[in-house]
Structure 1
Amino acid sequence: MSPTIAVLALQGAFIEHEQRLQSLGCAAIELRQAADLERSFDGVVLPGGESTVQAKLLHDLGMFEPLRQRIAEGLPALGTCAGLILLADHFRTLPVTVRRNAYGRQLGSFHAEGCWENTNEAIPLTFIRAPRIEALGPGVEPLVTLNDAPVAVRHLNQIGAAFHPELDSDNCLYEAFLERVA
C-alpha cells in the first residue's frame, strides 16, 4: 500500500512537493486547518516559503503544537528551506543551527551540484533565499554537501534541506524521506 504524505499547504511551494510525491506513488493530502491533522498520514513535508509566516499561521490555526508534538514523537518529516527553519528554530525538533537567507536574497538565488552522502554522486541543488546549516547537534548526519558544508541533514525521523528538491529532477532526498516513512 502506498504511503499518504501530508504537505503543509498554508503558504509556499507546496504544490510542487505534492506533484513529486504523487509521481513517486504516494497519496498527498494538504494540511490547511487543524481538522486536517485528524486525517491519517504517514509523513509530513514542510515546504519552502516564509518560515515566520508559516509559524504564525500554524499558531493562529491551532496546528503548531499538535504538529510539533507528532514530529517529536517520530512522525517522519521533510523540511525544505523554510521547512528546515521550522524544524530547527520553531519546532526545535531538529538539532541544527541555521542562519536565514545566508546564501543571499532573492537575486542571489542559484543552482549548484552537491554530493550525496559522501559519495561522488552529484545531485542538482536549487537555492532560493536559502538558510545555511551552521552547526550540527548530536546524532545529526549530513546527507548532501556543497563545498564540504552540509546543505541537507538527517536526524532520526527528520530530514532538513536548505535547498528546493521539488524544483529539480533528482529524487534522492524524497527517496531518503520515504525510507523513513516505510
Structure 2
Amino acid sequence: MLERAGARARPVRRVAELADVDGLVLPGGESTTMSRLLASFGLLDPLRERIRDGLPVYGSCAGLVLLARRVYDGRPDQHQLDGLDVVVRRNAFGRQVDSFETDLDIRGIDDGPVHAVFIRAPWVEKAGADVEVLARIPDSAEAGAAAERIVAVRQGRVFATAFHPELTGDGRLHRLFVRTVSELAADRETPAVGEGTAG
C-alpha cells in the first residue's frame, strides 16, 4: 500500500533503520507484544524522540494504542509513545468474533466513504484539544454502544485509525500519509517510509 502511494517501504527493527526513514507506519498486531519489542530492541526512546521532533507516523489498530498518551485495559508494563494526546480503550469493540466492517466518512478523504475493517479494535475514549477527529462510528441501531465513538484521529503529522485500511485495497489513507511524509522529505525523490514489525 505504501509503495502504491509513492513511497519506498522498508522494515524497521533497529535504531539505525529508524534513523534512515522519513516516516513510519505502526501496524496492527498485539500492542503489548509490540511495546515489549520496542523496548527490547532499544527503539522506544529513539522513536519517542523522533515523534517529538516531527516524524510523520501512521498507526493502525495496535499502532493507535501505542501512539496514545494513555490506555484503558492495558498491561501495567505496557509502554506508550505519547504521540497523540488521546486516551484509548484496547479491544473496545470486543473479541475476535466481534470483528466487523462498516463505511466511514473521513475528514480529508474525498470520493466517498472509506470501507473500514475492525479486528479486536480500540476506540478513542478522550481526545485532547489539539487532536483533530477524522472519523466516528456512525450512529445507527446496529452500532449500539459503539455509536459516535472516535476511530480516526490526527495530531500534527501523527495519524491513527482503529481499523485496517490496508485490508480493503483502498489506498486513500496511505496516500494522505505519504503526502505528509513527502512534504518533509523534499530532498528525496521517493520518500522512505518504514514499517515497524512485530519481530
**In which range does the TM-score fall when normalised by the shorter chain?**
0.7 to 0.9
Shift of 1:23: 1.5
In the other structure, the counterpart of 1:69 is 49
1:104 matches 2:84: no
- Larger helix fraction of residues: 1
Cα distance in 2, alignment partners of residues 179 and 137 from structure 1:
25
**What residue in structure 2 maps to residue 55 of structure 1?**
35
Deviation for aligned residue 1:120: 8.8
Partner of 2:143: none
| Residue pair 1:115, 1:146 contacting (<8 A) in 2 also | no
1:65-87 per-residue CA deviation (whole Å, 9 max, x = no partner) reads 00111011100000000000110
Question: In 2, distance between residues paired with 1:99 and 1:153?
Answer: 14
Q: Work out the CA distance in 1 between the residues paired with 2:111 and 2:171.
A: 16
Question: How many equivalent pairs are there?
Answer: 162
**Cα deviations by residue, 1:111-157 (Å, 9 ceiling, x for unpaired):** 11111218893110000000011111011111222214321111001
Q: Which has the higher contact order (CA 8 A, sep 6+)?
A: 2
| Segment of structure 1 superposing worse, 80-89 or 165-174 | 165-174
RMSD (CA atoms): 1.6
- Corresponding position of 1:4: none
Identify unmatched segments of 5+ residues in structure 1. 1-19
Spell out, residue by residue over 1:28-50, the C-alpha distance to the aligned partner (whole angstroms, 9 max, x if none): 11112233223x21100000001
Give SS of 1:55's match.
Answer: helix
Aligned to 1:116, the other structure's residue is in SS state coil
Match of 2:16 among 35, 58, 70: 35
TM-score (structure 2 length as normaliser): 0.77
Match of residue 67, structure 2, among 87, 93, 100:
87
Name stretches of at least 5 consecutive residues in structure 2 with no aligned partner.
71-79, 139-147, 184-199
The match for 2:150 is: 150
Q: Which amino acid aligns with 1:142?
A: V
- Decide which of 130, 137, 140 is 2:131's aligned counterpart: 140
**In structure 2, what is the Cα distance between the partners aligned to 1:106 and 1:43?**
30
Which of these two proteins has the greater Rg computed from alpha carbons? Answer: 2
Identity %: 44
2:7 corresponds to which residue?
26
Give the ranges of 4+ consecutive aligned residues of structure 1 lying more than 6 Å apart after TM superposition. Answer: none
CA distance in 1, matches of 2:118, 2:153: 15
